[in-house]
Amino acid sequence: MGFSRILVALLAMIIGAVAVAGTGDSEYYGAQPLAKLAMHKASIAIDGKAQVRATPELLGLKGEDIEFVKVELQNANPTSDDWIGVFSPSKFNSSTCPEAVGDIKDQLPLICTAPIKYQFANYSNADYAKTGNASLMLQLINQRADFSFALFSGGFQNPKLVAVSNAVSFSNPKAPVYPRLAHGKSWDEMTITWTSGYNINEAFPFVEWGPEGGPQTRSSAGTLTFSRNSMCGAPARTFGWRHPGYIHTSLLKDLWPNAIYTYKLGHQLLDGTYAWSKKYSFKASPYPGQDSLQRVIIFGDMGKAERDGSNEYSNYQPGSLNTTDQLIKDLNNIDIVFHIGDITYANGYISQWDQFTSQIEPIASTVPYMIASGNHERDWHGTGSFYDTDDSGGECGVLAETMFYVPAENRAKFWYSTDFGMFRVLHCRYRT
């Protein structure tokens, strides 16, 4: 009876995932919403009469990693295709453009980075084109830097910078955020990966953890990052580039089967002070072969979406939120998740990986979130990917293998197995 229940649940989730993915992938092929913005054509048309104001200026005063910001616009020459771009860091101009972003045969662009999100000025103000006044509520997540909100005219293909807001920042932009659980190489191991703004020469990363209600111990973490030159091409190396921060992974060993553990992410700064995350918990894996019910979720091609309605593309992305919200709602009935490729559809816009890890945090911080690499993570010309396409937007697998841990001997290949109770799950990707 237990096995049949598992089989039915698995089949239902796989069929549902294929149905969703099958209707979206052809529409989404190579079309990241941020790719619609022709930032290389941006010009400066500052209007002294236009104003953009963002409040509050300081976020996360109670430890929040996600907050909404009110953005108020006043524009003496409004048009229906005016839009707001959210930039981070808040200062963006050609003075920081590396040569790779520009065309040395012509000239460097005036703006050398894409925003992390955008929204039309008239999104919630139908009369904006008449009055020039608008108010937007935009959601920000902690992404290791401050933010500004820029008003553009000229639509997406001929953007003209009209006004820039004040800067907005989280109280600790470097805070440890968005933990992702994954199995280690043994059934009684769990890894915790997270992102912060602390390099190893600034603070020592660790996890404080232990049995629920019992003594806590600390396990150190390794730290990885990568540079623009680690990317294989545009847009990841050009307008899509944003520093990924520092990705830390800690290995928790000798877990008891089915035991509940609590944990916190920590960084000990050089002056002896600490930066902490909030407290999380997870349930350890059952012993291999143990007679028990395993509730396994398998899907692919999910992508990410914005809860404030920004970055919308052909009404495709809300399906990502629907899937995420359903998983969160049913989290007490889920033991492990397998996201089998086409993870974020960032397609070379690095900021979107932060957005994705924030979106799945309630899931990935509670149950193992095991990934595989798809064409939108790996494929790039001349890099050994199975198909010679540009589907990864220049990421060529670097983001996927750095942002998430998998128990593979060669993490770039994503071929691995993991034991979970009655199952041994094999991950193998024919496309990568």
8-state DSSP, 130: H
- pLDDT of 27 over the 70 cut: no
- pLDDT of 103 over the 70 cut: no
The pLDDT of residue 102 is 55
Residue 429: which pLDDT band, with cuts at 50, 70 and 90?
Answer: low
Angstrom distance (rounded) from CA 135 to CA 34: 22
8-state DSSP, 151: E
Q: Please state, rounded to an integer, the average pLDDT across all residues of the chain.
A: 89
Cis bond leading into 235, ω under 30°? yes
The pLDDT of residue 156 is 95
Least confident of 196-210, 284-298, 301-315, 392-406: 301-315
The pLDDT of residue 109 is 74
Q: Which CATH architecture best describes the domain 2-30+174-427?
A: Sandwich (2.60)
Q: What's the 3-state SS for 161-217?
A: EEEECCCEEECCCCCCEEEEEEECCCCCCEEEEEEECCCCCCEEEEEEEEECCCCCE
In the chain, where does the domain assigned CATH 2.60.40.2840 lie? Answer: 38-170
Tell which phi-psi region holds residue 23, choosing left (phi > 0), alpha (psi between -120 and 50) or beta: alpha
Least confident of 221-235, 296-310, 406-420: 406-420
pLDDT tens digits, 158-176: 999 999 999 999 999 999 9
The pLDDT of residue 41 is 92
The pLDDT of residue 26 is 35
Angstrom distance (rounded) from CA 86 to CA 90: 8
Residue 2: which pLDDT band, with cuts at 50, 70 and 90?
Answer: very low
The token pair at 171 is 């109280």
Residues paired with residue 219 on neighbouring β-strands, in sequence order: 207
pLDDT tens digits, 235-291: 999 999 999 999 999 999 999 999 999 999 999 999 999 999 999 999 999 999 998
Residue 292: which pLDDT band, with cuts at 50, 70 and 90?
Answer: confident
The pLDDT of residue 344 is 94
- pLDDT of 221 over the 80 cut: yes
> What's the whole-number mean pLDDT along residues 356-366?
98
Residue 17: which pLDDT band, with cuts at 50, 70 and 90?
Answer: very low
More confident position, 250 or 26: 250
The pLDDT of residue 121 is 97
In the chain, where does the domain assigned CATH 2.60.40.10 lie? Answer: 2-30+174-427
Residue 25: which pLDDT band, with cuts at 50, 70 and 90?
Answer: very low
Residue with tokens 């019992």: 214
Least confident of 34-48, 83-97, 198-212, 393-407: 83-97
Angstrom distance (rounded) from CA 408 to CA 250: 16
pTM to 2 decimals?
0.91
Burial 205-217 (b: 16+ CB within 10 A, else e): bbbbbeeeeeeee
Topology of domain 38-170, per CATH? Answer: Immunoglobulin-like (2.60.40)
Contact 207, 221 (CB under 8 A): yes
End-to-end alpha-carbon separation of the chain, Å? 37
User: What is the percent of the chain where pLDDT is above 70?
Assistant: 88
The pLDDT of residue 232 is 95
- pLDDT of 355 over the 90 cut: yes
- pLDDT of 348 over the 50 cut: yes
> What's the whole-number mean pLDDT along residues 149-162?
96
The pLDDT of residue 95 is 60
Residue 410: which pLDDT band, with cuts at 50, 70 and 90?
Answer: confident
The pLDDT of residue 38 is 93
For residue 132, what are the contacts with CB-CB under 8 A and spacing of at least 6? 73, 74, 75, 76, 77, 78
Residue 106: which pLDDT band, with cuts at 50, 70 and 90?
Answer: low
> What's the whole-number mean pLDDT along residues 136-144?
98
Contact 255, 209 (CB under 8 A): no
